[in-house]
Amino acid sequence: MKPNRFKATSVYQIEKRFTALRTLVAAFIALVMCFILIAINSDSIGKDLTTFITAPVSTFNRFCTFLIKLSPLLFSSCAVCLLLSSGSYNFATEGAFFIGAVASSAVGIQTGIPHGLQFILMFGAGVIAGALVLMIPPFLDARFGANVVVSSLMLNYICSNLGYYMIRGPLRDPSASHEATYIIQTRLPYFINNNSSRVHSGLLIGLAVVLIFYFVMKKTTFGYQIRTVGQNPNFARFSGIDVIKTIICTALVSGLVAGLGGAVEISGYYTRLKWSSSPGYGWDGIMIATIAGNNPLFAILGSAFLAYLRTSADILNIKSVIPVEIVDIAQSVVIVMIAAKGILKKTENQAIVRFSKSKMSRKGEQA
Amino acid sequence: MNFFDTIFSANFLGSVLRMATPIIFVTMAACIGVKANVLCVAYESMMLFAALAGALGSAYCHSWVGGGLIGILASIILALIFAYFVLYLDTDPMLTGIALNTFGSSGTVYLMFLLTGSRSTTARLSSVVFPNLNPGFLASIPVLSVLFEQNLLTYLSIFSAIALYVFLFKTALGLRIRSVGEQPLAAVSVGINVKQTKLEAILISGLFAGLGGVFMSMSYMPYFTRDMISGRGFMALAAASLANGHPMVGLVFSLVFGAASAFGNVLQTLRLPEQFASMVPYLVTIVGLCFMKRRTKK
């Protein structure tokens, strides 16, 4: 008998394949959802759908928009991957990203600091602020037993209000036409810069961060500790891992990443910080990390998928009347579909049973 | 105006009740969740859909009864979706809740745009609001008269806490819900269908969350605005977990959070930046979480 390359060799492999299949099905359903939502709203369905599918790659300029949208998602999804790997439902990434951006723009608007030094200070401020924010919920949990989910969600509201206060209060430039901070003095260099199409090098930093954390998660003791704690805290405790310390350290590290994301976004894309609502990257991060199964490497693909949808929806919103919210709707559908272990469960179980039976009968023949 | 005059006035008491009403309703929803051991954070989206459906429905039916019923129905449908995914498709309840909240925030905006052409409010529709109670002869009582001129839903919210207490602790279904939450295996052994009982619990949660949502767009404000729930569902979740699912204790905590919100509004008039004022209820929630769990843990 010829060995079949597609034949599964273990139950684990079957499970893995079905997870991948579910992810693809979910992504497909998300696209179909977008199509339906566009079709309901559209006067010229064919044209709008074509725009939606091809817009980000139709011109170089739009492709650059796609890359710019991709950059913050890399940071936030990487941060969430780490947090969720440690099994801690700490959703304060949104707040950490916002506060990171605010802290780094507070440094960035100061005049008279040499550019190199200001860069370091900006990034330092963003990173520290982000880490401080994300460490609060697990700390409160460890110290007082406060529920991480609720406290982190509450923390997001506190962070965004603090952010608005800083933007409209101490950091506000009164000469600006709208509510925004003073101009950021130091900017990240562009890595694509021809005519009107510019992409800041935050994307490269983001890719580097994701790759580093992929390595950390897979190849280092710290990464192994995080995954052990996430999968089975009791086992981790019995094997001598300090669970609380690991969770707080993970929050610290992912706070660094989220804060860095905020700092990069401020020094790369914006001339002034002017967010009037929380940017939502933290929530996007949760969605991407779910798609990616908390694997930072797959998070690149997930971020690209979401950034592509976002760019399409933005362009569509300018060209016709379709609201950008369709992406968020599709996004929530994707999260639920991927997380729904029950979908295709029957087929998966049948495959596992078939596999186990054939394995047992083969063993019988050998004996 | 003097700070203490403001705090110890009838108006302040009224605004505490007004701020607390939606939180009380949703705390009741969350109490059932706690008792049935269902980790549901989707109340935010249930409220949003109820609020939108209430505003649209009342404009369509020209009556607050119709609007209210449509709003509650919308919330129950959301609860049904949540229950189907969590109970029958084995989905992580946390992620389902988060996803549904994203869906609630974007879906309501999309629906509103589709039906009214506006992306921010339904203020252009002529929605009907729930009536306030007519105090009658009680209006002549000095300070306390404020207690008798609140919105219909405010009284209903306090009544619902009592009703839920009776339901959970004195009825057969309430007992089943509690047993399923506390010891599902024992419940199975006496012939209780765990999934079905949890489904019933979630649907009743949906009913209460719907009342909270309807209050937001049909009394607190006379129209729906995007993301108008702004964390009240989460506050209720905190209140219910502090109360460990007991409706009467939950009622007290909701009133505390309502007072914190009202207090924040007062601070705003005292030239404290608006943003710090908005922070107060969230801060109180976090402090409450820290303070209470420590006591119950021992």
Sign of the CA dihedral B89, B94, B99, B105? positive
Distance CA A280, CA A286 (A): 10
Helix (H, G, I), strand (E, B) or coil at B41: coil
What one-character-per-residue DSSP string does A67-110 give?
Answer: HHHHHHHHHHHHHHHHHHHTT----THHHHHHHHHHHHHHHHT-
The two three-digit tokens of residue A313, written as one number? 């929806």
Please give the average per-residue pLDDT across A19-40, as a whole number. 82
pLDDT for A367:
61
pLDDT for B143:
65
Does B279 contact A161 at a Cβ distance shorter than 8 Å? Answer: yes
Contacts of A91 in chain B (CB under 8 A): 98
B44 and B108 in contact (C-beta within 8 Å)? Answer: no
Amino acid letter, residue A178: H
pLDDT for B296:
47
Give the largest CA-CA distance in chain A: 86
Residue A297 above 60 pLDDT? yes
The two three-digit tokens of residue B214, written as one number? 């309807």
Residue A12 above 90 pLDDT? no
pLDDT for A5:
59
Beta bridge partners of B121: B225
Which residues lie closer than 8 Å to A324 by C-beta, 6 or more apart? A310, A313, A314, A317
Residue that has been written with the tokens 């969590």 in this structure: B86
Measure CB to CB from residue B110 to each of A37, A287, A331 and give the nearest one: A37
A113 and A235 in contact (C-beta within 8 Å)? Answer: no
Does B105 contact A328 at a Cβ distance shorter than 8 Å? Answer: yes
Distance CA B103, CA B125 (A): 23
Distance CA B84, CA B89 (A): 7
More confident residue, B295 or A24: A24
pLDDT for A344:
75
Contacts of A162 in chain B (CB under 8 A): 275, 279
Q: To the nearest whole percent, how much of chain A has pLDDT over 70? A: 97
Does A89 contact B114 at a Cβ distance shorter than 8 Å? Answer: no
Radius of gyration of chain A (CA): 23
pLDDT for A233:
87
pLDDT for B297:
41
- For the stretch B36-39, contacts whose Cβ atoms lie closer than 8 Å and that sit 24 or more positions apart, written own/partner, are B36/B177, B36/B178, B36/B180, B36/B181, B36/B197, B36/B198, B36/B201, B36/B202, B37/B180, B37/B181, B37/B182, B37/B184, B38/B86, B38/B93, B38/B181, B38/B198, B38/B201, B38/B202, B38/B205, B39/B93, B39/B94, B39/B97
Contacts of A345 in chain B (CB under 8 A): 90
Rounded to the nearest 5°, which phi and psi values hold at B151? -70, 150
Displacement of CA B145 from its chain's centroid (Å): 25
Amino acid letter, residue A4: N
Residue A4 pLDDT class (50, 70, 90 cuts):
low
What one-character-per-residue DSSP string does A46-71 give?
Answer: HHHHHHHHHHHHHSHHHHHHHHHHHH
Measure CB to CB from residue B110 to each of A91, A323, A335 and give the nearest one: A323
Contacts of A327 in chain B (CB under 8 A): 106
Q: Which among B95, B108, B119, B272 is the top mutation candidate for probing chain A, defined by the most A β-carbons within 10 Å of its own β-carbon?
A: B95
Please give the average per-residue pLDDT across A134-147, as a whole number. 88
Instruction: For A72-84, write each residue's pLDDT tens digit.
Output: 999 999 999 999 9
Residue B295 above 60 pLDDT? no
Does A154 contact B290 at a Cβ distance shorter than 8 Å? Answer: no
Mean pLDDT, chain A, integer: 85
The size of chain B, in residues, is: 298
Helices H / strands E in chain A, number of each: 14, 2
- Is ipTM beyond 0.85? no
Instruction: For B5-62, write each residue's pLDDT tens digit.
Output: 666 677 788 888 888 899 999 999 999 998 998 888 889 999 999 999 999 998 888 8
Contacts of B110 in chain A (CB under 8 A): 37, 323, 325-326, 329
The two three-digit tokens of residue A48, written as one number? 């709008």
Please give the average per-residue pLDDT across B275-282, as a whole number. 83
CA distances to A7, A306, B166, B226, B252 from B174, rounded to whole Å, are 51, 44, 8, 35, 21
Instruction: For B143-176, write each residue's pLDDT tens digit.
Output: 666 666 778 888 888 889 999 999 989 999 999 9
Count the helix, strand and coil residues of chain B and give each as a percent rounded to the nearest 5.
75, 0, 20
Return the beta strands (E) in chain A as ranges.
190-194, 197-200
Does B102 contact A339 at a Cβ distance shorter than 8 Å? Answer: no
Distance CA A234, CA A241 (A): 10
Please give the average per-residue pLDDT across B281-296, as a whole number. 75
Give the largest CA-CA distance in chain B: 64
pLDDT for B52:
92
Sign of the CA dihedral A30, A36, A38, A40? negative
In total, the C-beta contacts within 8 angstroms joining chain A to chain B are 143
Nearest one of B226, B268, B1 to A165, comparing CA atoms = B268
Name the range with the highest mean pLDDT among A132-141, A189-198, B90-99.
Answer: A132-141
Please give the average per-residue pLDDT across B241-261, as a whole number. 87
pLDDT for B211:
92
pLDDT for A1:
47
Other beta carbons within 10 Å of B297: 8
More confident residue, A341 or B295: A341
Please give the average per-residue pLDDT across A214-236, as a whole number. 90
Measure CB to CB from residue A162 to each of B119, B275, B293 and give the nearest one: B275
B127 and B219 in contact (C-beta within 8 Å)? Answer: no
pLDDT for A113:
81
Residue A253 pLDDT class (50, 70, 90 cuts):
very high
Does B290 contact A143 at a Cβ distance shorter than 8 Å? Answer: yes
Closest alpha carbon within chain B to A152: B286
Does B98 contact A283 at a Cβ distance shorter than 8 Å? Answer: yes
Please give the average per-residue pLDDT across A239-257, as a whole number. 91
pLDDT for B280:
83
Nearest one of B70, B40, B98, B54 to B228, comparing CA atoms = B54
More confident residue, B176 or A346: B176
Give this prediction's pTM: 0.84
Mean pLDDT, chain B, integer: 85
Residue A164 above 70 pLDDT? yes
The two three-digit tokens of residue A231, written as one number? 């999968």
More confident residue, A151 or A341: A151
Please give the average per-residue pLDDT across B210-228, as a whole number. 88
Does B109 contact A339 at a Cβ distance shorter than 8 Å? Answer: no
pLDDT for B145:
67
Residue B204 above 80 pLDDT? yes
For A156, how many CA atoms within 13 A lie in the half-sphere containing its CB? 22
Contacts of A37 in chain B (CB under 8 A): 110
What one-character-per-residue DSSP string does B276-295 give?
Answer: HHHHHHHHHHHHHHHHHHHH
Measure CB to CB from residue A343 to each of B89, B275, B290 and give the nearest one: B89
Nearest one of A257, A217, A148, A86 to B94, comparing CA atoms = A148
Residue B298 pLDDT class (50, 70, 90 cuts):
very low
Q: Which DSSP helix (H) or strand (E) runs through B72?
A: helix B64-83
The two three-digit tokens of residue B281, written as one number? 């209820």
Does A149 contact B41 at a Cβ distance shorter than 8 Å? Answer: yes
Nearest one of A199, A204, A263, A261 to A68, comparing CA atoms = A199
